[in-house]
A and B are shown apart, each in its own frame.
Chain A
């Protein structure tokens, strides 16, 4: 994979939990329908504003809470990547495992404002604010995780390897 994503950013705060992104009442809905409820209590109406290719930038402890596959809802909405100061590890695993690029970048939350353009290189570990020129270098993702992203996530990989119907 090229590992490069460029898009408009949305900023959210610290400790945004999975209940706030994927409420219990949406758990039994198909992903496309459940996706309409992301940030339902934090930022009502956001799902009407977000566009394919956008990037979400968050603060500390992003995604604390349940194992609900929020990253699947983000990809349904067309969100191209997540960047955070710090991820909850279960949430982070879900991002990688559903094929959504996610990068931990200390200091990133205050380096962007809503609507600015971020450029993210997941294989090199670089994030740039194309609007202000700010740049961050972080460790690249381990090869094991890049392989999962490259396959589009675990479910396509399981299909490729003969575990699921193609």
Chain B
């Protein structure tokens, strides 16, 4: 029986010729990524680990440390990498949101298995990696033993056709899928088809990242020339893509015509069956606009924001906060002038961190406030007060809305 991308990767990682839906298999993990949240008060220093070359440590959720407790996490992380000789350590200055750091350093390769303590680890599916967010105990176990287990889920295939229009982004593609089809709990998502070539890598990363928001297990893309070029810039290791068999078994195949898509907005609470074309939701007043996170703090996201903000001003009474996904993105965006344009328009550019997206620091919202965010989640209470409303959209829509003070179709501002 034919296998999907994820079936192929799990079979290879478990040393089996094939795997079946429902089967629980023990797999070898190629890379375990630990973040600062791993080193909280509940951290126990291990006596031995499997292989320091298969471990990376990235400080991202609370950096630079906003409290003494957070500072201790950094101390524990530094002691750990020193003791075990972990070379892949991304401390303040080389840091960034782990999924961006993973991409920049080629830590996720086609056909491999990647484990990390953050739920948006599925981001690396853009590179055809079986990447999963796992709990703290499980990442601990992977680091120590090199192995974990997966139960093979059924796969939904998205067959992409047509060309993505200008001013429509990966976030809009995802919000369209979430609004139309809802949750994919306990299913894998697979993206491919003739339209894939019109999706830049940043859009694939956004879509793969957001698989967690519809409760999917893995979300993976096929490998094409664009993907190969992106990987060639960060690694010279051989690539072993997992291409699906022509007769692979899918629980459903959904065809998406990219050329028909428009900007989308998710209303507060969830993205599932709660995302609408922007034409149905315009003119909602906003207090804060946020561009950042692992989903939309990439260099292209900042470029799009800068292009919209150039020569314009953030509306009175509105806060625009922009958080680059990594220090490398920050430096590139500074060199290219994007940060200057954002700041000149009245936006605030922060250091790279998960900060506002998970409601911890640098952009938390208060009761009664309305936030339009290009981050990962719109759960109640996600970005601070449980009495705030979190709408979600693309960086273009967020930037356009910051200028007008109400939720605005970016195509109108750019027209």
The judgment on whether A and B are partners is yes
Q: Which residues of A contact B (CB under 8 A)?
A: 15, 17-20, 23-25, 27-31, 41, 60-61, 64-67, 69, 71-72, 86-90, 93-94, 97-98, 142, 144-145, 153-155, 157-158, 161-165
Given A19-B381, A67-B133, A158-B144: A93 touches B138 (CB 8 Å cut-off):
yes
Q: How far is the CA of A151 from the CA of B250 in the complex (A)?
A: 36
Q: How far is the CA of A9 from the CA of B278 in the complex (A)?
A: 43
Contact of A67 among B73, B119, B149, B186 (CB under 8 A): B119
Q: How far is the CA of A97 from the CA of B117 in the complex (A)?
A: 13
Asked whether A155 lies within 8 Å of B381 as measured between CB atoms, the reply is no
- Which residues of chain A come closer than 8 Å to B213, judged between CB atoms? 64
- Which residues of chain A come closer than 8 Å to B136, judged between CB atoms? 67, 69
Asked whether B44 lies within 8 Å of A165 as measured between CB atoms, the reply is yes
- Contacting chain A: which of B34-42, B83-91, B332-340, B394-402? B34-42
Select from chain A the residue with minimum beta-carbon distance to B35: A67
Asked whether B41 lies within 8 Å of A19 as measured between CB atoms, the reply is no
Q: How far is the CA of A93 from the CA of B42 in the complex (A)?
A: 19
Q: How far is the CA of A68 from the CA of B35 in the complex (A)?
A: 12
Q: How far is the CA of A25 from the CA of B69 in the complex (A)?
A: 12
Asked whether A155 lies within 8 Å of B44 as measured between CB atoms, the reply is yes
Q: Does B199 contact A (CB under 8 A)?
A: no
Q: How far is the CA of A158 from the CA of B138 in the complex (A)?
A: 10
Q: How far is the CA of A80 from the CA of B250 in the complex (A)?
A: 37
Q: How far is the CA of A69 from the CA of B119 in the complex (A)?
A: 11
- Which residues of chain B come closer than 8 Å to A65, judged between CB atoms? 119, 212, 377, 379
- Which residues of chain A come closer than 8 Å to B212, judged between CB atoms? 65, 90
- Which residues of chain A come closer than 8 Å to B140, judged between CB atoms? 154-155, 158
Select from chain A the residue with minimum beta-carbon distance to B357: A24
A106 to chain B minimum Cβ distance, whole angstroms, is 12
Interface of B is mostly: loop
- Which residues of chain A come closer than 8 Å to B137, judged between CB atoms? 69, 72, 94, 97-98, 153-155
Given A20-B380, A28-B69, A153-B137: A86 touches B37 (CB 8 Å cut-off):
no
19 contacts between A and B (CB under 8 A): A15-B270, A20-B381, A24-B359, A28-B73, A29-B41, A66-B133, A69-B137, A86-B186, A87-B185, A88-B186, A89-B185, A97-B137, A98-B135, A142-B151, A158-B141, A158-B144, A161-B145, A163-B145, A165-B44
- Which residues of chain A come closer than 8 Å to B49, judged between CB atoms? 163
A149 to chain B minimum Cβ distance, whole angstroms, is 13
Asked whether A24 lies within 8 Å of B360 as measured between CB atoms, the reply is yes
Q: Does B249 contact A (CB under 8 A)?
A: no
Within 8 A of A (CB), among B234-283: 270, 272
B292 to chain A minimum Cβ distance, whole angstroms, is 15
Select from chain B the residue with minimum beta-carbon distance to A142: B24
Question: How many A-B Cβ pairs are below 8 Å?
Answer: 136
Asked whether B67 lies within 8 Å of A28 as measured between CB atoms, the reply is yes
Contact of B132 among A23, A41, A90 (CB under 8 A): A90
Q: Does B47 contact A (CB under 8 A)?
A: yes
- Which residues of chain B come closer than 8 Å to A165, judged between CB atoms? 44-45, 47
Asked whether B41 lies within 8 Å of A30 as measured between CB atoms, the reply is yes
B218 to chain A minimum Cβ distance, whole angstroms, is 10
Q: How far is the CA of A94 from the CA of B272 in the complex (A)?
A: 23
Q: How far is the CA of A148 from the CA of B136 in the complex (A)?
A: 15
Interface of A is mostly: loop
Q: Which residues of B contact A (CB under 8 A)?
A: 24, 26, 37, 40-42, 44-49, 61-62, 67, 69-70, 73, 117-119, 132-138, 140-141, 144-145, 149, 151, 153, 183, 185-186, 212-213, 215, 217, 270, 272, 358-360, 377, 379-382, 386
Asked whether B138 lies within 8 Å of A94 as measured between CB atoms, the reply is yes
- Which residues of chain A come closer than 8 Å to B358, judged between CB atoms? 24, 66
Given A27-B37, A64-B215, A89-B217: A144 touches B141 (CB 8 Å cut-off):
no
Q: How far is the CA of A35 from the CA of B415 in the complex (A)?
A: 52
- Residue from A61, A67, A88, A93 having most chain B Cβ neighbours under 10 A: A67
Select from chain A the residue with minimum beta-carbon distance to B185: A61
**Given A65-B377, A94-B138, A155-B140, 17 more pairs with CB closer than 8 A:** A19-B380, A28-B67, A29-B41, A60-B185, A65-B212, A67-B117, A67-B133, A67-B135, A69-B137, A72-B137, A89-B153, A89-B186, A90-B212, A93-B135, A94-B137, A155-B44, A158-B141
Asked whether A41 lies within 8 Å of B40 as measured between CB atoms, the reply is no
Given A28-B41, A144-B24: A67 touches B185 (CB 8 Å cut-off):
no
A103 to chain B minimum Cβ distance, whole angstroms, is 14
Q: How far is the CA of A27 from the CA of B39 in the complex (A)?
A: 11
Asked whether B381 lies within 8 Å of A23 as measured between CB atoms, the reply is yes
Q: How far is the CA of A28 from the CA of B73 in the complex (A)?
A: 9
B198 to chain A minimum Cβ distance, whole angstroms, is 30
Top 6 nearest A-B pairs (CB, nearest first) are A94-B135, A163-B144, A142-B24, A24-B359, A154-B141, A154-B137
Asked whether A164 lies within 8 Å of B119 as measured between CB atoms, the reply is no
- Residue from B40, B118, B153 having most chain A Cβ neighbours under 10 A: B40
Select from chain A the residue with minimum beta-carbon distance to B182: A61
- Residue from A31, A66, A93, A165 having most chain B Cβ neighbours under 10 A: A66
